[in-house]
Amino acid sequence: MTVSAPPIEIEDLHKSFGELEVLRGVDLSVTTGEVICIIGPSGSGKSTLLRCVNLLEVPSAGRVLIEGYDITDPETDVDEVRAKIGMVFQQFNLFPHLTVLKNLTIAQRKVLGRATDEAISVAEAMLSRVGLADKRDEYPIRLSGGQQQRVAIARSLCMNPDMMLFDEPTSALDPELIDEVLDVMRALADEGMTMLIVTHEMRFAKQVADRVLFIDEGVIQEQGPPSDVLENPKNERTRRFLRAVEH
Partner 1 sequence: MRRAEIRRRVIYVATIILLVVLAFTIDWQQLQQSFFQPDIIKAMFPDVILIGAKNTIIYTTLAFSFGLVLALFLALMKRSTIGPYRWFATGYIELFRGLPALITIILVAFGLPLALGIRIPGGTLGKGTLGLGLVAGAYMAETIRAGIEAVPRGQMEAARSLGMPKSTAMTYIILPQAFRIIIPPLTNELVLLIKDTSLLFVIGTTPLSKELTKFARDFMTSTQNATPLTVVAFMYLLITLPMTFLVQRLERKAGKGR
Site residues (CB under 8 A) for partner 1? 54, 56, 79-80, 82-87, 89, 91, 93-97, 106-107, 110-112, 141, 152, 155-156, 159
Classify 226 as helix, strand or coil: helix
CB 116, min distance to partner 1, A: 14
CB closer to partner 1 out of 167 and 222? 167
**How is 159-171 classified by DSSP, letter by letter?**
T--SEEEEESTTT
CB closer to partner 1 out of 82 and 136? 82
CB atoms near residue 98 (< 10 Å): 14
CB closer to partner 1 out of 83 and 178? 83
CA distance 12 to 26: 5
CA distance 85 to 172: 22
CA distance 180 to 234: 33
CB 179, min distance to partner 1, A: 24
CB 81, min distance to partner 1, A: 8
CB 160, min distance to partner 1, A: 11
CB closer to partner 1 out of 64 and 212? 64
CB closer to partner 1 out of 56 and 177? 56
Find the helix packing angle between 145-157 and 178-190, rounded to 10°: 20
Distances 26 to 53, 64, 84, 219, 223 between C-alpha atoms, Å = 12, 10, 22, 6, 12
CB 92, min distance to partner 1, A: 8
